Amino acid sequence: MPVLTSVVPSSGPAAGGTTVTLTGTGLATAGAVRFGATPAASFTVVSDTHITAVAPAGTGTVPVTVTTPGGTSNGISYTYSGAPALSGVTPNQGPTSGGNTVTLTGAGLTGATAVTFGATPATSFTVVSPTQITAVVPAGAPGSVTITVTTPGGSSALPSSYFYVNAPVLTGVAPLSGPLSGGNTVTLIGVHLLEATAVRFGTTAASAFSVISDTQITAVVPAGAAGLADVTVTTAGGTSNAVPYTYLPAPVVTTLIPAQGPTSGGITFTLTGTNLAQATTVLVGAALAGFTVVSDSNIVVDAPPGAAGTVNVTVTTPGGTSAPKTYTRVGSPGI
């Protein structure tokens, strides 16, 4: 009497065609191998303990038996599995370096034996349920690939369903500085920016941003502390290199010497204070004055002509505008 101890693999597609190995004893004189009531498509006696057989088409779970002149063996279960059906992947894009996890949805996913992205196997995968698999994406070249899931019941593919995205690269930010309060708009220049999901100044998200093109983003700067902040852009392809942006405190003018001059102009006066090095304009009244930045604490200003009287003097930098100091124009004495 033949005796079976195992059937490997123990499952296959409903269409049949799977080659299985039967292990047991007393198999040398086998005259028939059946999957349920259906004969194997073919079989080969390898030895008294091994037979290879090609599964016929079938459904459900059936007993595999071997018949010899000594009788029919016990049955070992073999399961016909339906083919898997993939319907979606979330998220459907990620970095070329891989390493991110995606969720595959569909039906008939139980017993999955392989998940591939293009021709590359997933780094790892976990069958969560008959309708869900989580997979760690392998590295890949930029562009779309087909995801394929293989189970004992067959394979299912989603053509061009996952996109490898290049990591963003920043080359500059303009202007390079702004006030501690933020609120100003800067332009970020680089490549692979089109899929931006975040712009950060240090660890703080931009107040808002707009993707203009694959090479340009405009961002509203958030408030920050004085000094340098690393600006980065994040996309599905990863996070960019950092470019520096400087938060500047507003300029402060403490003295204006001399505090008066002729209505004809033609003289200079000196502003003393702090945070003056980045000065972009000096206003004397409503007039733009010529000036020379001597240091972060001193500016020499060319007094413009104007009507007799007192006017406000202010300094503007990317950090803001100073509180006004007064300058008085004095008319010539009458004769």
Q: Of the candidates 113, 115, 120, which has an alpha carbon nearest to the alpha carbon of residue 98? A: 120
| pLDDT value at residue 334 | 56
243 within some domain: yes
Which of 205, 225, 248 delimits the end of a domain? 248
Q: Are residues 153 and 184 in the same domain?
A: no
Same domain, 116 and 158: yes
- Same structural domain, 174 and 117: no
Same domain, yes or no: 310 and 275 = yes
What are the structure tokens assigned to 221, written together? 């700067």
CA distance readout (Å), 312 to 123, 279, 284, 294:
68, 17, 6, 21
260 and 189 both lie in a single domain? no
- 318 domain residue, yes or no: yes
Residue 266 lies in a domain: yes
Q: Which of 11, 161, 124, 29 is nearest to 77 (CA)?
A: 11
Residues 231 and 298 in one domain: no
Amino acid at site 330: V
What is the DSSP secondary structure assignment for residue 279, as one 8-state letter?
-
- pLDDT tens string for the chain (335 positions)? 999 999 999 988 888 999 999 999 999 999 999 999 999 999 999 999 999 999 999 988 999 999 999 999 999 999 888 889 999 999 999 999 999 999 999 999 988 999 999 999 999 999 999 999 999 999 999 999 999 999 988 899 999 999 999 999 999 999 999 999 999 999 999 999 998 999 999 999 999 999 999 999 999 999 999 999 999 999 999 999 999 999 999 999 999 999 999 999 999 999 999 999 999 999 999 999 999 999 999 999 999 999 999 999 999 999 999 999 999 999 877 55
Establish if 65 belongs to a structural domain: yes
Is there a single domain that holds both residue 270 and residue 324?
yes
d(CA 171, CA 243): 7
CA–CA distances in Å: residue 335 to residues 262, 293, 300, 332: 17, 39, 33, 9
- Domain encompassing residue 290: 252-330
92 and 136 in a common domain: yes
Report how many domains make up the chain.
4
Q: Give the residue among 292, 298, 333, 329 at the shortest CA–CA distance from 312.
A: 329
Upstream peptide bond of 175 is cis (omega within 30 degrees of 0): yes
**pLDDT of res. 15:** 86
In a domain, 114, yes or no: yes
**335 part of a folded domain:** no
Where residue 132 sits, what CATH number does that domain have? 2.60.40.10
Last residue of a domain, one of 248, 280, 311: 248
Residues 134 and 180 in one domain: no
My answer on whether 145 and 208 are in the same domain is no
How far apart, in whole angstroms, are the C-alpha atoms of residue 224 and residue 231? 12
**Are 217 and 260 found together in one domain?**
no
What is the reported pTM? 0.73
Q: Which of 225, 248, 271 is the last residue of a domain?
A: 248
Distance in angstroms (rounded) separating the CA atoms of residues 7 and 51: 10
Q: Tell me the C-alpha distance between 50 and 28, whole Å.
A: 8
Shared domain for 75 and 90, answered yes or no, is: no
Any domain includes 262: yes
